[in-house]
Amino acid sequence: MIFWIVATALALGTGVLIAAALLRGRASAAPAASYDLAFYRTQLKDVDKDLARGVITEAEAGRLRSEVSRRILAADAQVQAHGVDGGQPPRAGAVLAAVLVVVVAGGAIWGYLEMGAPGYMDQPRAVRLAASDAARADRLSQAEAEDKFGPPEQTVAPPEDFAQLMTQLRAAVEARPDDVRGLALLARNEASLGNTGAARAAQERLIAAKGDSAAAADHAVMADLMITAAGGYVSEEAESSLRTALSLDPSQSEARYYLGVYYAQVDRPDAAFRTWEALLRDSPPGAVWVAPLRDQIVDAAARAGINYTLPDAPRAPAKTVGPTAEQVEAAGDMTDESRQDMIRGMVDGLLARLADEGGPPEDWARLIASLGVLGQTERAQAIWDEAQATFVGQPDALAMLRAAAGRAGLTGEGAE
């Protein structure tokens, strides 16, 4: 409050000083014509001096006296007409002065509200860094963060067939607690159903089962589950998972994004901006973290005092569509070996894209059918299981996928 009182007083005082100068006209009380009058009188005296020294004749002195006297009379008339205010219209001057006071004071306050930080205390760099260190040291634990910020779990009711598959998957994982593939499927599917707690428990078991072979992506998924459960808050445990992921792979994108979120939460917008700006440069168009990153990076730059212009969002490149079942069977002119190599290359490319970026149900269906043509029924089954979790609650998509699974020989349903 003291700041606003002082700032307002200074702004108004400045405006008043400008207005007073405007109302006063000139610094002296004399108008411009009074200076002319004094000058002409001096000239008249000089004419007499020049005549006494013989510089000019009596006739020339007479003419000069007449001219100077005429100018004196004109200047005196101007002084009498306008007075000491120099001819400045009093009403117009008062209006202009009032406008200047409003513009100067109001403009200063508006400029601060627009570009300043109202209510933000003056903090030297050392104080800000100390405050950030304190915020890091006082981070809530995962349990505390979930209790304070965590939204209630919203479990998705899956279709009956998928619910049966989940029951079987949970039973299989309990029977084989160290089955890495089963734990990975369980964590992914529990998360898709909204069972964040169960998904995190499965992910913890997965990381423990993998031990030293756990990848950066495993730890990044763990951090993502914890941050989601805490309503976006990065807890001590989540930060630890992010640091572990980045120690294994400094380019891990999800971990880099969430690390920027952590920096923003501990009042280090400079570090958040550096992290996000580098990630934005490295990210492919359409990556899932790009949109939320672009929503936050400008504010982080402004808070850090960095003049930053967000680049235009690049268009995502056209996606390479995977092979259809008809395209696979149409490769009959090739030798068996060449045909299999072609199909494997196309399938691997589609598989990598779906794993990195996801895709519509049509692409998942093509992948399942193509794997069936290749005879890779186990891989087809794994993709079919993942697709059911991905498109849970979407009957049309599940019907399309079920038909592809039937063509791949995984079920008796949907075969055409």
- Of 27-41, 150-164, 176-190, 349-363, highest mean pLDDT: 176-190
The answer to whether 223 and 253 have CB atoms below 8 angstroms apart is no
Whether the per-residue pLDDT at 369 is higher than 70: the answer is: yes
Task: Give the residue from 330, 370, 375, 333 showing the smallest Cα distance to 351.
Answer: 370
DSSP 323: P
* Domains in the chain: ranges and CATH: 2-115 (no CATH), 137-267 (1.25.40.10), 325-407 (no CATH)
Q: Which of 51-55, 160-164, 348-352 has the lowest mean pLDDT?
A: 348-352
Q: Which of 227-236, 303-312, 353-362 has the lowest mean pLDDT?
A: 353-362
Whether the per-residue pLDDT at 411 is higher than 60: the answer is: no
Whether the per-residue pLDDT at 282 is higher than 70: the answer is: yes
Whether the per-residue pLDDT at 27 is higher than 50: the answer is: no
Arithmetic mean of pLDDT over the chain:
78
Query: Distance of CA 368 to CAs 20, 196, 267, 298, Å?
Result: 84, 28, 47, 42
Higher pLDDT, 130 or 230: 230
Query: Distance of CA 166 to CAs 99, 157, 188, 397, 402, Å?
Result: 74, 12, 11, 19, 16
Model pTM above 0.85: no
Supply 134's token pair. Answer: 């304190």
The answer to whether 229 and 221 have CB atoms below 8 angstroms apart is no
pLDDT-derived band at 318 (thresholds 50, 70, 90) equals very low
Higher pLDDT, 158 or 59: 59
pLDDT-derived band at 338 (thresholds 50, 70, 90) equals low
pLDDT-derived band at 415 (thresholds 50, 70, 90) equals very low
Whether the per-residue pLDDT at 3 is higher than 90: the answer is: no
Q: Which of 106-120, 151-165, 179-193, 329-343 has the lowest mean pLDDT?
A: 329-343
Please report the pLDDT score of residue 202 as a whole number. Answer: 92
Looking at 83-159, list the stretches that DSSP marks H as alpha helix, in order from N- to C-terminal side.
90-115, 125-137, 142-149
Supply 47's token pair. Answer: 């004419």
Please report the pLDDT score of residue 400 as a whole number. Answer: 82
- Tell me the average pLDDT across 163-171: 86
- 176-210: pLDDT as tens digits: 988 888 898 888 888 888 888 899 999 999 999 99
- Tell me the average pLDDT across 277-291: 87
pLDDT-derived band at 226 (thresholds 50, 70, 90) equals very high
